[in-house]
Structure 1
């Protein structure tokens, strides 16, 4: 890659030194106040590439590129144009922009490479002290930012593809219960709470979705449940809102055994699941019973792991990941593949068999 330096006089009488190079057919400009800094930067661009040149220069030592469309610009543009997302999720994304872009924030979008993303992941781990799951969440969001930039033809490819992320800590890892483990917990939990426990593993719903269902959301003839609400926590108070994302609004097919444990002979506006006094189910009330049951059998898992377990049982039965994505209400197939792809041995065996057939 070739780069050049051009001096330009400013209105105040000082001189600006502009390093120019071309990336993917577009001219990129980085401005410096000192010729020496510009020379070093030009040399590093030619020897190591733009991303490493920025890294060596240090973001704080580099003036903002003239007219450059930065990672921050792309992130704000992405968040501003999201639809069907809960306000709380949007607020979280804006916090990512403010606090978590770090060394990426002021880089021209076109200068970001795979190694730049790797350095950012290291920064999250060492400077922000983020754990594996948190880093995976932030990386997934940034992947979507760059994916939009690719679709808008601002950059040729997504630099987040193929990033090696830190391993999750044991408490971050999803737990996939065996049928025997589930049966132990299900048979031990207080009888009043067994229908909800079976429903969660049978449908893969989030507990915030299942406990927001009303009797009228169930169609026993079609054997479906319409998910259109979920409980949200705001300042310690619960409120009803939409599901986690647009894809979370979905119609879920219900197995016969799950239909058999619910009482539909009630007014349509009543909660499908209620506590022992007939009021709505809170997470705290359910978790108290769940914790006692799983502790008795020394099985380390959370109620959310029933959702993971549902997915793992589907995969074991040969259900394709895109179908599971729709069933669980994942916004992106990347979430489904990233969480459960390693369990899908049948698809991998089929892929290997297909290549073997070509070679035979």
Structure 2
């Protein structure tokens, strides 16, 4: 398979390729141009290699039918694969065929014509306001406390928080702000590196509540003392402005971050919670405060309001009940019925 083949294909001309050959083109030439992170791209490649191509890779791309996709999903299920794995396999196949369909190389996207598998939703545990206050009150007692506070107060992804630099934080503006411009990621052989955030929508500026400003000011002072005591060599070649770093200025590892957050929440609240639970808690608290969905979506760095709604829609139930009650009052001639359209 030669390079640049995707650029040489004439739109509307059927492809004499197998699904496997097209996926080589898709992963090598098309995906690198997409607005996704390297981690996401490698995830697509791995899912295709493990769960898609072994089952439909030898089928001609224009011959692929819904029956092939259903058989792939059924086989994965019989192999004991999780519902989420089966969902991801279908999603990657669908995305891989989308460009071929858009360019008219295939008549239809067979994966689009097959119903997705139902994945049991795990809403996961979030903190109520009382527990959140308890956790924030313990910030000074734990090494990981400042990071937990910022995760909880901003809804940052773990990698975004660990890649955060002091140059991206303005504590003197009104309101104070934090701008997401990079994230800590894990590459091949678990090597850590700093890169752009997940998508272009992930690049965002977040307004900080005063409690976050206070936490960050104290943390910055503590870190400056730590840096001065350490002397030259702080960071060992990494950017020296990492907000949440190890005691020698290097990035706080993703796995270590998980362990420390779990240890703190277990100590303070009696149960283990992950950094991702802090993000979910931030969203749930904003929803409870009736913050508009668009604002929440922008703050979390989601690609669209629909993503936010799909993930957190169940938390809007009380608001939906309020809407129903309001409608009842209006139709009964109660509050809100002022006779105007």
What TM bracket, shorter-length normalisation?
0.5 to 0.7
Partner of 1:319: 291
More strand by share: 1
**1:195: which partner in 2?**
146
Counterparts of 1:116 and 1:353 in 2: how far apart (Å)? 48
**Alignment deviations for residues 97-153 of structure 1 (CA, whole Å, 9 cap, x no partner):** 22221544426568644x7655544433332x3334444444444454466566557
Report if aligned partners of 1:200, 1:210 keep a CA contact under 8 Å in 2: yes
Q: State how 1:66-81 maps to structure 2 within 5 Å.
A: 67=15, 79=27, 80-81=29-30
1:167 to partner: Cα distance? 2.0
The residue aligned with 1:336 is 308
Deviation string, structure 1 residues 137-185 (Cα, Å, up to 9, x no partner): 44444454466566557548972686242325x6xx5332222333444
Alignment CA distance shift 1:126-1:317 (3 Å)? farther
Partner of residue 236 from structure 1, selected from 178, 185, 190: 190
Q: Which runs of 5+ in 1 are unaligned?
A: 1-25, 27-65
1:326 CA displacement: 2.9
- Distance in 1 between the 2:207 and 2:115 partners? 34
Query: How many residue pairs align between the two structures?
Result: 291
Superimposed CA distance per residue, residues 42-73 of structure 1 (whole angstroms, 9 cap, x where no aligned partner): xxxxxxxxxxxxxxxxxxxxxxxx95676556
User: Conserved in 2, the CA contact under 8 Å of 1:143 and 1:160?
Assistant: no
* Equivalent residue number for residue 206 of structure 1: 157
| Deviation of the 1:284 alpha carbon | 4.3
Q: Give me the whole-angstrom Cα distance separating, in 2, the residues matched to 1:74 and 1:320.
A: 42
Equivalent in the alignment of 1:15: none
Indicate the larger mover: 271-280 or 198-207.
271-280
CA distance 1:261–1:292, shift in 2 (3 Å): same
2:65 is the alignment partner of 1:98: no
Q: Whose relative contact order is higher, 1 or 2, with alpha carbons under 8 Å and at least 6 apart?
A: 2
* Partner in structure 2 of residue 175 of structure 1: 125
Alignment of 1:287 onto 2:240: no
Q: So what's the TM-score if we normalise by structure 2? A: 0.66
Give how far 1:84 is off.
3.3
CA RMSD, Structure 1 to Structure 2 (Å): 4.2
- How far does residue 238 in structure 1 lie from its aligned partner after superposition? 1.7
Structure 1 Cα separation of the partners of residues 18 and 308 of structure 2:
30
Q: Gapped runs of 5+ residues in structure 2?
A: 1-11, 228-238, 333-341
Q: Which structure has the highest helix share of the two?
A: 2
For residue 253 of structure 1, what is the aligned residue in structure 2?
207
The Cα of 1:355 is off from its aligned counterpart by 9.7
